[in-house]
Amino acid sequence: MTQISDETETVEVWPTAVVTGAASGIGRAVTMALLRDRWRVLAVDRNAAGLDQLSAEAGSPGELTARVVDLANVQEIVRIVAALPAECRLRGLVCSAAVGDNTPFLDVDLDKLRSVLEINFVSAFALCQAAARRMAADGGGAIVNISSVSGLRANAGRSTYGSSKAALEMLSKIMALELAPLKVRVNTVAPGPTLTAMAAALHVGPERNRLLRAVPQGRYGAPEEIAEGVAFLLDARRSGYVTGHTLCVDGGMFAAGAFEPRLGGEAA
């Protein structure tokens, strides 16, 4: 909790974080972790039923507000931040909402490309900009963008999705430089294959085994494991000197070389 003083009184203010994609998977797990860590969370998603379920299951000690928003609407994004009450201190933003795509490059039509970039990159850009302005006015904060190992390494089938995540990676590093003097830290978490609705829809058939062979730990991650990395990067007490960083939470996938990682504890 932050203590804010003026000449007449001292008021106690819970730090506030906005989390997008909060109705499902990693965004949902991040919301739960932040509530545990005593954040006041504004959870945003276009999935109203998922947000209702989140609200029903969310526990204390933090405080949850849920808002149904389609992030394709940039005006709406700016309104999310403008609507934050003046007395709250915006200290955190987590951009987790995204759409997946696994279309081979030669089959991608430009409408598909634009729709993926619109949600995964343009909406995150707009929200980061609105939030960073507010954080700077509120005395600083931290932004964590959820990218992907597919934004760091070239995976076949990921020409739209991987490019959107690579753009988000670079944007986050540039923001880290420009916003450091304003006391706003910016980092990314790059998950490896993680057990969520997106993975269930995209990683089908031989793709699933192919992915598992590329992960040295030989398993999918749990959304809660990704969320712990995010919670660390948002918490200024634990990561106050960390900015412009990519934290891979990926079972070793990014570190792996051209040969298949050895599974089952075989000796090298």
Ligand X SMILES: NC(=O)c1ccc[n+]([C@@H]2O[C@H](COP(=O)([O-])OP(=O)(O)OC[C@H]3O[C@@H](n4cnc5c(N)ncnc54)[C@H](O)[C@@H]3O)[C@@H](O)[C@H]2O)c1
Instruction: Using CB under 6 A, list all residues that contact ligand X.
Output: 21, 23-27, 45-47, 50, 69-72, 96-99, 119, 146, 148, 191, 193-194, 196-199
Structure tokens at 70: 């389609």
Give min distance, CB of 267 to ligand X, in A: 30
| Nearer to ligand X among residue 1 and residue 83 (C-beta) | 83
Whether 241 sits among the annotated catalytic residues: the reply is: no
Residue number, nearest CB to ligand X: 25
CA nearest neighbour of 89 among 134, 33, 30: 134
In the complex, the smallest distance separating the C-beta of residue 28 from ligand X, rounded to whole angstroms, is 7
Q: Please, which residue, 136 or 222, has the CB nearer to ligand X? A: 222
Select 138 or 148, whichever has its Cβ closest to ligand X.
Answer: 148
Catalytic residue among 161, 194, 215, 231: 161
Residue (22 or 184) nearer to ligand X, CB: 22
Minimal distance, residue 72 CB to ligand X, in Å? 5
CB of 201 to ligand X, least distance (A): 7
> What amino acid positions are annotated as catalytic residues?
161
